[in-house]
Amino acid sequence: MVGNSGGATGPEGVALRQRIERRFERFGHFSVRHRWSLIAIVLLFAAALSSQAPRMTMDTSVDAFLQEDDPAKQFYNDFRDRFGRDEVAIAAIRTPDALAPAFLAKLRDFHQALEEEVPHLEEVRSLINARMTRGERDELIVEDLLEEWPQDPEAWRRLRAYALANPLYQNLLISSDARLSLVMVETSAYSSEGLGAEDPVDFSEDEESGAPVAFLTGAENRAAVRAIRQVAERFAGEGFEISLAGAPVVQAEVIGAMERDMVRFVGMMVVVIALLLALLFRRVSGVLLPLLVVAPAVSGTIGIMVIAGEQMSAPTQILPSMLLAVGVGAAVHILTIFFQRFDAGASREDAIAQALGHSGLAVCMAGLTTAGGLLSFIAARAAPVAAIGTFAPIGILLALVYCLVLLPAFVSVLPLRRKSGAGHETRTAPDAGRLASVLVAVGEFSIRHARAAVGITAVVVAVSLVGASKIRFGHDILGWLADSHPLHAVTALFDAEMQGSMSLEMVADTGQENGVQRVEALNALEALPAELQEVARAQGLEVGKTISLADVVKEINQALNDGSPDFHRIPQDRQLIAQELLLFESSGTDDLETMVDSRFSMARMSIRLPYVDPMRYTPFIEASLARFQDHFGPGVAIHATGFAAVMSTTISALISSLVSSYVLALLIITPLMMLLLGSLRIGLASMIPNLAPIVITLGVMGWGDIEMDAFTLMIGGIAIGLAVDDTIHYLHNFRRYYAEFGDVSRASAETLRTTGQALFVTSVVLTAGFAIFTLAELENLFYFGLFTALTIANAFLIDILVAPALMELAYGGKTRGRERSAPGA
């Protein structure tokens, strides 16, 4: 007997299933009789949540992918508190001569306009206010390069000679051939949200109290970049060709594309779903009802994110479209049976009750397992991925509750007409439909060739596993933008002309007051750039400009010795170093604040690097840490931070997130499948059609050399949650009909005949929904949509091709009781 080998079809399992289904039927009657009360209560609750959705903001900052308690993020926040923001917007100005009086006059106006018009501004740096250090007798004078405008040709000649000879200007403010001039726009590290226009941004009280510091938001960064762009467009012209780049500009472009894509995708998703529902149900109510039920779940989920203080990030922007597609799928399963029974002559209340009795349990099981699969992301180190693990399950459960409560209530109040010519439905009717006939034929083919179907699948999975082992990881934010985007060309220009557009910040913490004034510490800072260049070239990189306290000390020493190049070196006397630095601070400049802390115990070195896939930064950063430690010794703590280091840490977070989320998904879903299907054997067998599509997709990515990033990382967890839906609906109904008929072939045929149409439509809805992402401006969304759609399509095909074969191998040749001539639902 089959019942002896699995509880799914044993007498106890059948009785339990029937009791649960009767309770769903009773709930259907209850929802109709109390429809207005249920509608009022649920809609008031949904409205309260949805009212928060318009307050959602977006964040694509470099550190947004790390959890708040991640040591790398905590040190990066501490770095910004102490030294300011390392990410700057860069305006590169092409001109025949960047030191010509006419160009510098226009540059002065451009510089001043930026200072006046850019919000959230910390500082603008250009040749106009470049630091010029000189000595007069025993006095050190620090002033702006163009603090006094040259009045004669000789003064202009001296200015040109000084600018071209100053090593701190080269490849930072001006190119070596003086044909490219850079303007660096540094925004504030802190947010000014909630402050008035005249209020100072002072977070000292927050720091003393331990309250979290509010850093510049994505919206504020975008406002600053928008203002920079407007000023640049006004000044650009012949001999003053302006291009913008830098991390803040990239982030603003990504946020803009995200906002456009999210609105567009939700709209397109609604249109696609409406068309598919119209084709399935061929009635207006069949289109409106699923959308009316699911829309509040989508907006409510966004509202919950706002209440929880969560911002929309690049990965989490998929949530609205995903929840829309998944929620509609659940509604389709209930409505399919409802319309079948309603058109066959059942009363509206009875049809609702029968639909919930038939599909309610399976819909709940599918919703729980989908939520379980997505819940696996909650343990991810990558913060946006973890956010999906938190809020996607909430959205799925909201959609599930609304489907079970609102859908029956709405069905009972909306005007509906029966389709003409509909007769009493039987599962064996010859006019069951062309689609059902095709699905049944595929299932029968799978059963007849069960061993071949499973064997071929095993071979494909094995080949895919080899491909999956070749997957490479990355987190290339600039690469999200299309190759034709102007930022690619501008970044390449910076990297070629100025040897780097990205920053790596190395920090040496001696733990001792005035520790970085020691001769040994300054000698180390002086020697390291050449060594780092060797390390970089060995890895196919190039170190651009490096700036540290050592450069300032050499500049001061030269200025105090009549500007002689022979004195552009570190004095080997600690007392002399301390005196020179005191003179520099007394001159009125605050430039040291960005290089050392107030106790001179901690020193920073800024390193410019070309923009490459952040994965390539990792070995360079590891080697740089080792070189710094060798020079400073074991008593000094060395840290790497800034854009390159945080991006490198993000890669590690993504890799660990992949492993943890996939393992956790299996640990959550497998026991759920065993419990919900009531059988250890069927529960384990059900994981084959659930895992095979994911392995195949990973194999395609590996063989196709497609990078695994924060988006494609989520495919497995999302797909396993969605693939389980089809498997549950198939196996739930299969066990019902197998318990009734005791024959695998007939149980599979009846399952595909009654539920197959809904399985097909929900798979098409999900596939089409995720395929919409292939129209995204951001290329990472393109790959996410492509491979998620491929996975879901494969999951459906494997369910109808492999699941029947697995059931044949598990139960073939066994019978259960006698076949009944009038099978019941």
The single residue listed with the structure tokens 């369910």 is 799
Which range (32-36, 413-417, 715-719) has the least confidence? 715-719
Residue 421 — very low, low, confident or very high, per pLDDT cuts 50/70/90? low
Does residue 819 have a pLDDT over 50?
Answer: no
Largest CA distance in the chain: 113
Answer yes or no: are the C-beta atoms of 605 and 505 closer than 8 Å: yes
Tallying the residues shown for the chain, one arrives at 825
End-to-end CA distance of the chain: 22
Listed ranges 224-233, 268-277, 359-368, 736-745; the one with the highest mean pLDDT: 224-233
Residue 386 neighbours by CB under 8 Å, 6+ apart: 67, 377, 378, 379, 380, 657
Answer yes or no: are the C-beta atoms of 814 and 2 closer than 8 Å: yes
Helix axes 450-468, 680-703, angle to 10 degrees: 50
- Alpha-carbon 334 to chain mean position: 33
Q: What is the pLDDT of residues 521-565, one digit of tens each?
A: 999 999 999 999 999 999 888 898 899 999 999 999 999 998 888
Q: What is the pLDDT of residues 287-296, one digit of tens each?
A: 999 999 999 9
Residue 493 — very low, low, confident or very high, per pLDDT cuts 50/70/90? confident
User: How would you write 202-227 as a 3-class SS string?
Assistant: CCHHHHHHCCCCCECCHHHHHHHHHH
The single residue listed with the structure tokens 């703590």 is 637
Answer yes or no: are the C-beta atoms of 613 and 479 closer than 8 Å: yes
Q: What is the pLDDT of residues 220-239, one digit of tens each?
A: 888 999 999 999 999 999 99
CA 233, CA 243: separation in Å to the nearest integer? 10
Give the bridge partners for 94, in sequence order. 180, 241
Answer yes or no: are the C-beta atoms of 89 and 242 closer than 8 Å: no
For 283-305, what is the mean pLDDT? 91
Residue 818 — very low, low, confident or very high, per pLDDT cuts 50/70/90? very low
Does residue 735 have a pLDDT over 70?
Answer: yes
807: nearest Cα among 685, 678, 669: 685
* Cβ neighbour number for residue 812 with a 10 Å cutoff: 13
Residue 126 — very low, low, confident or very high, per pLDDT cuts 50/70/90? very high
Listed ranges 6-15, 103-112, 419-428, 772-781; the one with the highest mean pLDDT: 103-112
Answer yes or no: are the C-beta atoms of 676 and 728 closer than 8 Å: yes
Q: What is the pLDDT of residues 652-692, one digit of tens each?
A: 777 777 677 777 777 777 787 777 666 777 777 778 888 88
Q: Where are the alpha helices (DSSP H) in 678-755?
A: 680-703, 714-741, 744-754
Q: What is the pLDDT of residues 344-394, one digit of tens each?
A: 888 999 999 999 988 888 888 888 888 887 887 887 777 888 888 899 999
Does residue 514 have a pLDDT over 90?
Answer: yes
| Per-residue confidence (pLDDT) for residue 404, from 0 to 100 | 92
Answer yes or no: are the C-beta atoms of 56 and 256 closer than 8 Å: no
Residue 605 — very low, low, confident or very high, per pLDDT cuts 50/70/90? very high
For 466-471, what is the mean pLDDT? 90
Q: What is the pLDDT of residues 33-45, one digit of tens each?
A: 998 999 999 889 9
Q: What is the pLDDT of residues 326-350, one digit of tens each?
A: 888 888 889 988 988 888 888 999 9
- Strands of the sheet with 121-125, listed across from one edge: 121-125, 180-187, 89-94, 241-245
Residue 599 — very low, low, confident or very high, per pLDDT cuts 50/70/90? very high
Answer yes or no: are the C-beta atoms of 381 and 66 closer than 8 Å: yes
232: nearest Cα among 95, 114, 55, 140: 114
Residue 149 — very low, low, confident or very high, per pLDDT cuts 50/70/90? very high
* Cβ neighbour number for residue 120 with a 10 Å cutoff: 18
Instruction: Quickly list DSSP for 29-79.
Output: HHHHHTHHHHHHHHHHHHHHHHTTGGG--B---GGGGB-TT-HHHHHHHHH
Does residue 761 have a pLDDT over 90?
Answer: no
Report pTM.
Answer: 0.75
Q: What is the pLDDT of residues 171-182, one digit of tens each?
A: 889 988 899 999
Residue 67 — very low, low, confident or very high, per pLDDT cuts 50/70/90? confident
Residue 714 neighbours by CB under 8 Å, 6+ apart: 315, 318, 377, 385, 388, 784
